[in-house]
Amino acid sequence: MTDPVLQLVGIRKCYGCGETESEILHGIDLHLARGEFAALIGPSGSGKSTLLNLIGLLDRPTGGQLFIDGQETGQLDDTGLTRLRGQRIGFVFQHHNLIPAFTALENVAMPLLVARGRPDAAMFSIAGDLLDQVGLAERKQYLANRLSGGQQQRVAIARALAMSPSLVLADEPTGNLDTHSADDVFALMREVNVRLRTTFLIVTHDPRLAQRCDRIIELIDGEIVSDQPHAVG
Amino acid sequence: MKPWMPFEWIAAIRFLREGRMQSLLIIVGVGVGVAVIVFMSALLAGLQSNLIKRTLSSQAHITLLPPEEVARPQVALDHTALRLQKQAQRLRSIDQWQQVRDRLQKWPEIAAVSPLASGPAFAVRGDANKSVTLVGIEPERYNQVISLAERITRGELRVGAGETVIGIELAKDLGADVGDKLRIATAAGASETLTITGLFDLGNKGVNARNVYVGLRTAQTLLNLVGGVSSIDLALHDLNLAEALAQRIAGETGLTADSWIKTNAQFVTALTSQTVSSNVIRFFIGLSVAFGIASVLVVSVIQRSKEIGILRAMGATQVQMRRIFLLQGGIVGFFGSIRMARRCS
């Protein structure tokens, strides 16, 4: 496959040490190309969240290699990982997605602010455009906790796109929403994927949501048991 | 968001504003701690300055005296050991005292120089007589060392020929008042009848009962010190330099120089102990305030764990995160201190 965004080679993750050591992930191999829209499914305790933390560079694997945009991450120190994470990866979580002390516009501009150190007009212009694109032009100055769940997830998607990342990791992005809002949020992610060719990896329990993705990766007991392209009907 | 403000400052201020009640509590906590420190410092500084002021109300910062007379040891012909008896110190004048006075007056550390002729005498009035210290002064100079004029309770500070100013205790003992006559007699047999022009109260009963102020010339005549002075009193700009300066003067002039620190050694030791104990108390108050801030910040870090997670996921480094919380501590500490310090002042 060409133009890989994410590549995992024999990724292992253990917790504890000595006799209490337990291996959560047993040599995961995974490859995501630019523009893919994949779902990661599996029962609770299968290692989905652990894998997502490793891919998001929030944790380090015990063994194996992890490449983001072709860059091997094993040799990077904490600052290097943080910088790479900030520039190449966007996150959408299920809960606690936004910082309540800031407005919707400020939340979207936050990754740019973290990277640049000081606020400037350009970053708010980018954030404003992104909010327009997710249909929240009227809610820019609302504090995060004054928005509905669906609106908060839209803001989170806008924020995940602020740094124009190659990869967006979404952990149960619709898990907390009603059906209508969930459909809206999914449609938005899909639109971004098609328009910007941003790669999405969506962790979900919802089979209905997984069925709407291009590829379904199933993880059971720390191993990928199936990885199939899925034709969206 | 202010364009000049770094990300860490923006986040720290927003977090503080969001948890308003918590921030207010820390500010009040810091404020109370600072108020106690300020109160204790003010109390102690006021108390010490008052004590020093009272102690030095009748005392010069440095007193210069003629060097002690020492008996010259004689060597016995048969080399047997001799016991050398210490010589009795008679009342003597400081050699070349005018030069010493003029020289010291030019020193920047010295505020005033006042030559004195003082010695023992008797104050006699009717059948009563009291042993006193006769002090001959130049009033203008002496007032710069000991503010005698301010301490006159009756009459005025006037010590011309035939005039004297005595303490209120001595006046009471002798039944004398302003305008009355008083005879001063010395052991050498000299005596003079003087008119009381004023009564002073230097806040020290012993001094009020003992000191009899006369003009310098009168004292020189009565004490048989014609043209001479028995001591030179000095006032300094900085009291704390007294001992160091006394040693320097002694070294340069060959005179005996006694500083108030040396003559009131126990008092100074008490003041030092008080300062040390106060500093220890202040240190522990500061420590408890610091622990208070730290514990609230720890709680704040735990409360903000989700925000920390979000910011870390967005690329904020550990250093940036640490700076946000340290800034919060710094901001509440600063405002708490300023608020209470201003209220106390």
ipTM of the complex model: 0.85
B226 lies in which domain range? 62-66+90-259
Residue B109 lies in a domain: yes
The structural domains of chain A, ordered by start, are 34-61+77-229 (3.40.50.300)
Task: Report the C-alpha gap between B54 and B264 in whole angstroms.
Answer: 12
Of B223, B238, B259, the position where a domain reaches its end is B259
- d(Cα A119, Cα A102) in Å, to the nearest integer? 13
Asked whether the beta carbons of residue B317 and residue A82 sit closer than 8 angstroms, the reply is yes
Task: Indicate the pLDDT class of residue B48, thresholds 50, 70 and 90.
Answer: confident
The DSSP code sequence of A141-158 is TSBGGGS-HHHHHHHHHH
Is the pLDDT reported for residue B162 higher than 60?
yes
B99 falls within a domain? yes
pLDDT for B43 equals: 86
Measure the CA–CA gap between A120 and A14, rounded to whole angstroms: 43
Structural contact between residues B162 and B194, judged by C-beta atoms closer than 8 angstroms = yes
- Same domain for B110 and B254, yes or no, is yes
- CB atoms near residue A95 (< 10 Å): 11
Are the beta carbons of A101 and B15 separated by less than 8 Å?
yes
User: Encoding tokens for residue B13?
Assistant: 């201020």
Per-residue pLDDT of A99-123, as tens digits, reads 988 999 999 999 999 999 999 999 9
pLDDT at A30: 94
Q: Is residue B78 part of a domain?
A: no
Is the torsion defined by CA of B168, B170, B175, B181 positive or negative?
A: negative
Phi then psi dihedrals of residue A19, to 5 deg: -70, -25
CB contact under 8 A, B306 and A114: no
Strand segments, DSSP code E, in chain A are 4-15, 22-33, 37-41, 63-68, 71-72, 89-92, 167-171, 199-203, 215-220, 223-229
Q: Which of B206, B239, B259 delimits the end of a domain?
A: B259
A52: left (phi over 0), alpha (psi -120 to 50) or beta: alpha
Q: What is the pLDDT of residues A178-206, one digit of tens each?
A: 888 888 888 888 988 998 899 999 998 88
The verdict on B166 and B214 lying in the same domain is yes
* Tokens matching residue B281: 């108390």
Instruction: Kindly report the average pLDDT of chain B as a whole number.
Output: 87
- Pick the residue of B300, B303, B314, B328 with the most A CBs within 10 A to test the interface with A by mutation: B314
Place of tokens 């048969």: B78
Q: Are residues B283 and B227 in the same domain?
A: no
Q: B180 versus B83: which is more confidently predicted?
A: B180
Residue B76 domain flag: no
Any idea what the Cα angle at residue B138 is, between residues B136 and B140, rounded to 5°? 145
Min distance B23 CA to chain A CA atoms (Å): 14
B125 with B168, same domain?
Answer: yes
- Check: CB of residue B117 under 8 Å from CB of residue B225: yes
Cβ within 8 Å, pair B313-A58: yes
Q: What distance in Å separates residue A79's CA from the closest CA in chain B?
A: 6
Nearest residue of A to residue B14 by CA position? Answer: A101
Query: Per-residue pLDDT tens for A72-93?
Result: 999 999 889 999 999 999 999 8
Q: Examine the fold and report which residue of B259, B279, B306 is the final residue of a domain before the chain moves on.
A: B259
| pLDDT given for residue B73 in this prediction | 66
B-proximal residues of A, 79-98, CB under 8 Å: 79, 82-83, 85-87, 91, 93, 95-98
The reply to whether B4 touches chain A by the CB within 8 Å rule is yes
Mean pLDDT across A52-76:
92
Q: Are B253 and B320 contained in the same domain?
A: no
Q: In the predicted model, is pLDDT for residue B83 greater than 90? A: no
B window 12-31, beta carbon within 8 A of A: 14-15, 17-18
Question: Token pair for residue B80?
Answer: 């047997």
Residues 53-82 of A with CB under 8 A from B: 56, 58, 78-79, 82
Domains: count for chain B: 2
Q: Both B117 and B202 in a single domain?
A: yes
- Tell me what pLDDT residue B172 has: 93
Residue B110 has what pLDDT? 92
Are B209 and B138 within one domain?
yes
What does the pLDDT average to over B7-32? 86
Residue B69, pLDDT above cutoff 80: no
Residue B88: pLDDT above 80?
no
In a domain, B72, yes or no: no
For residue B5, give the nearest of A56, A106, A118 by CB distance.
A118
Cβ contacts of B307 on chain A, cutoff 8 Å: 99, 101
> Which band of pLDDT confidence, cut at 50, 70 and 90, is reported for residue B89?
confident
Which residues on neighbouring strands pair with residue A170, listed in sequence order? A92, A202
Model pLDDT, residue B337: 80
Do B119 and B244 belong together in one domain? yes
Helix, strand, coil fractions of chain B, as percent rounded to 5: 55, 20, 25
pLDDT, residue A181, reads 82
What gap in Å lies between CA A5 and CA A33, rounded to an integer?
5
How is B237-295 classified by DSSP, letter by letter?
S-GGGHHHHHHHHHHHH-SEEEEHHHHTHHHHHHHHHHHHHHHHHHHHHHHHHHHHHHH
Report CB contact under 8 Å: A119, B3: yes
Asked if B276 and B247 sit in the same domain, the reply is: no
- Average pLDDT on B320-340 reads 86
pLDDT band at residue A232 using 50, 70 and 90 as cut-offs: low
How far does A68 lie from chain B, in Å, by closest CA?
Answer: 15
Q: Tell me if B3 and A82 make a contact (CB, 8 A cut-off).
A: no
pLDDT tens track for B136-158:
999 999 999 998 999 999 999 99
- For residue B73, being part of any structural domain is answered with no
Cβ contact, residue pair B313, A102, below 8 Å: no
Cβ of B6 under 8 Å from any chain A Cβ?
Answer: yes
Residue A231 pLDDT > 70, yes or no? no
Nearest CB to B315; choose among A95, A115, A120: A115
User: In the structure, what pLDDT confidence band is assigned to residue A17 with cuts at 50, 70 and 90?
Assistant: low
- Asked whether the predicted pLDDT for residue B281 surpasses 80, the reply is yes
> B210 and B135, same structural domain?
yes
Q: How far is B304 from chain A (nearest CA, A)?
A: 10
Structure pTM?
0.64
Checking if the pLDDT of B117 tops 90, the result is yes
So what's the pLDDT on residue B82? Answer: 66
- Integer Cα distance of B176 and B300 in angstroms: 76
Give the pLDDT of residue A203: 93
pLDDT at B23: 81
Residue B33, pLDDT score: 80
The identity of residue B30, as a single letter, is: V
**% of chain A with per-residue pLDDT over 70:** 97
pLDDT beyond 80 at B344: no
Cα distance from B325 to chain A (closest Cα, Å)? 15
Q: Identify whether residues B274 and B255 lie together within a single domain.
A: no
Confidence of residue B345 (pLDDT cuts 50, 70, 90): low
Say yes or no: B7 contacts chain A, CB-CB below 8 A: yes
Say whether both B98 and B227 belong to one domain: yes
**What was the pLDDT predicted at A228?**
82
B236-275 confidence digits (pLDDT tens): 998 888 999 999 999 988 899 999 999 888 988 998 898 8
Of A78, A95, A115, the CB nearest to B318: A78
Contact criterion met (CB < 8 Å) for A119 and B15 = no
pLDDT on residue A65: 94
Residue at B1 is within a domain: no
Q: Enumerate the residues of chain B whose CB falls inside 8 A of the CB of residue A119.
A: 1-3, 5, 7, 10
| pLDDT score recorded for residue B55 | 79
Q: Is A10 on the interface with B (CB under 8 A)?
A: no
Residue B81: inside a domain, yes or no?
no
Residue range A146-157: mean pLDDT, rounded:
89
Q: Which two tokens stand for residue A85?
A: 């994470």
